[in-house]
Amino acid sequence: MNPVTAQFGNLLYLGAGSCPSVTQYSEIANKVYLVEAQPVLANQLRTDTAVLENVTVIEAIIAAESQPAVFQDYNLRWAASLALPAGLKKIYPSLTCIAERNAETQAVTQLVTNLALSDQQPNALIIDLPGQELELLEALAAQQQLQSFDEILLISAKDGVYDPDHSAAPLIAWCASHAYAQGHNTPLPTPQLLPWQALYSLRLDRTAATNQRLETALKKQQQDMEQINTRLQQADNNNETLSHQLAELQQQLLTTEQTNAETLKQRDQLKTQLDAANTAKNEQQARAEQQAKQRDELNQKLQTADQANAEAVKQRDQLKSQLDTVNNDMNAQQAQIENLTIQLTTADTTNKALLQQRDELNQKLQTAEQTNAEADRQRDQFKSQLDTANTSKSEQQFTFQHQSQLQQQKIEELEQQFEEKNFRNQLIDKEMIKAEAQIDLIKDILIREKAF
């Protein structure tokens, strides 16, 4: 095939099937793309076109967009499709679905993008997918890809045959609205049609397409102008609003400046107060540190006082023990004094009795002297007895005086011991007073420490 004599740069055939006219297609186009969904037919096409260098076979299920879908295979191979051929069952009662395949469809727009069709020469499009024609054309138009094809050949179904609701009129009207005219001789080879099929040959009217593009561009421009005018009006309204807002903001700015001046003044006052507070804080910290130091010193003193208190308690216990011993001694001495007092009382009683005996003896002596004249003889006789009695009396008096002196000495010794005990008790009382004063001092220090 000579590229110079080819009528089309690219020919894209969707739903190629067995494609008996593939050799003719390869002669009228520089590149031919045959797209088939059934693997068996796609492999057969690869075999049939192996010697044709400008023919490419693509196995894909084509739809308006990429999505999961169910592809139905029928006992009549050419009827396989995504669409349900409900009307065909009237013509072919034995038509039966033999398999359903869950597959991902490929968007027709993505296929055209991948092929990167050149527009230096006219391009042709053949669609042999009954029931999918309009949605495929709409998808291409939406992506500005439809007018890349100068010639379109639709192998569709007659009205109400493939699908009871199917009608060609809306399809043809839609194509006409997109500058594709019907009713001319197509240079594309016409395949042999089945009884239920219809062929629609469409050619792009470049002038009409250009006019449509211009009208579309003009409408778009008018819409843009209307949008611009609307935006200008909105901008004017916004400018007026912004002017009012600017005036309000200027007033607010003036108010804010006045407020800022007052705030600055307050800030300066607060700063002065803050400085004074910081100074007071520093002084307070210094006092706190001094108090902490004093507290440490007081704690040290308290520990010393605790030690002194413990020592004083120890001394107090010792003094108490000594006091108990002294009290016991004093009690013992007091008992001795009481015994001596009893003995002294007894000695006094004895002495009185002796004095009474002496008085009686003196009385007897006087009686004896008075009766001396009468009793000279008796006196002489009793003179020796009297001398003896006097001697015995002297000895008794001497003994009594000696015992009295010994008792007096014992009394003096007991009084001296009692005075020593009183002196020792006074010393103990003084030590107790000192210990109680130290305890009161320690209590006062503890109370002050708790107050801090």
Query: Quick one: pLDDT band at residue 29, thresholds 50, 70, 90?
Result: very high
Say whether domain 8-204 belongs to CATH 3.30.1490.20.
no
pLDDT averaged over every residue in the chain: 82
pLDDT at res. 51: 93
Task: State pLDDT tens for residues 395-450.
Answer: 777 887 888 788 888 888 888 888 888 888 888 888 888 888 888 888 888 888 77
Q: Please state the rounded mean pLDDT for residues 54-83.
A: 89
- Give mean pLDDT, residues 28-32: 93
Looking at per-residue confidence, does 291 or 338 come out higher?
291
Structural domain boundaries in the chain: 8-204
The structure's pTM equals 0.51
Mean pLDDT value of segment 179-193: 81
Return the pLDDT at 186: 79
Residue 3 has pLDDT above 60, yes or no: no
How far apart, in whole angstroms, are the C-alpha atoms of residue 148 and residue 206?
Answer: 11
Q: How confident is the model at residue 85 (pLDDT cuts 50, 70, 90)?
A: confident
Provide, for the chain, the percentages of residues in helix, strand and coil under a 3-state DSSP scheme, each rounded to the nearest 5.
Answer: 65, 15, 20
Residues 209-217: what's their mean pLDDT?
A: 73
Exposure string (b/e) for 31-40, b if CB count within 10 Å is 16 or more?
bbbbbbbbee
Least confident of 203-217, 257-271, 372-386: 372-386
Q: What is the pLDDT of residue 344?
A: 61
DSSP class per residue in 106-158: EEHHHHHHHHT---SS-EEEEE--TT-HHHHHHHHHHTT-GGG-SEEEEEEE-
Q: Is 90's pLDDT higher than 70?
A: yes
Q: In the structure, what pLDDT confidence band is assigned to residue 248 with cuts at 50, 70 and 90? A: confident
Tens of pLDDT, residue by residue over 141-177, are 999 999 899 999 998 888 777 666 667 888 888 998 8
State percent of the chain over pLDDT 70. 88
Q: Do residues 295 and 452 lie in contact, with contact meaning Cβ atoms separated by under 8 Å? A: yes
pLDDT at 28: 92
Q: What is the pLDDT of residue 4?
A: 47
Whether 315 shows a pLDDT value over 70: the answer reads yes
Q: What percent of the chain has pLDDT over 90?
A: 19
Q: Which pLDDT value is given to residue 108?
A: 94
Q: What is the mean pLDDT of residues 185-210?
A: 82
Confidence of residue 313 (pLDDT cuts 50, 70, 90): confident
pLDDT at position 447: 84
Of 9-13, 88-92, 346-350, give the range with the top mean pLDDT. 9-13
Q: Are 136 and 14 in contact (CB under 8 A)?
A: yes
Name residues whose C-beta falls within 8 Å of residue 35's C-beta, 6 or more positions apart in sequence: 12, 13, 14, 15, 16, 58, 59, 60, 62, 111
User: Which of 48-52, 282-286, 435-439 holds the top average pLDDT?
Assistant: 48-52
- Among 141-150, 217-226, 372-381, the minimum mean pLDDT is found in 372-381
| Positive or negative torsion for Cα 362, 367, 370, 372 | negative
pLDDT of 318-343, one tens digit each?
A: 777 877 776 787 777 677 667 766 76
- Of 6-15, 180-189, 362-371, minimum mean pLDDT range: 362-371
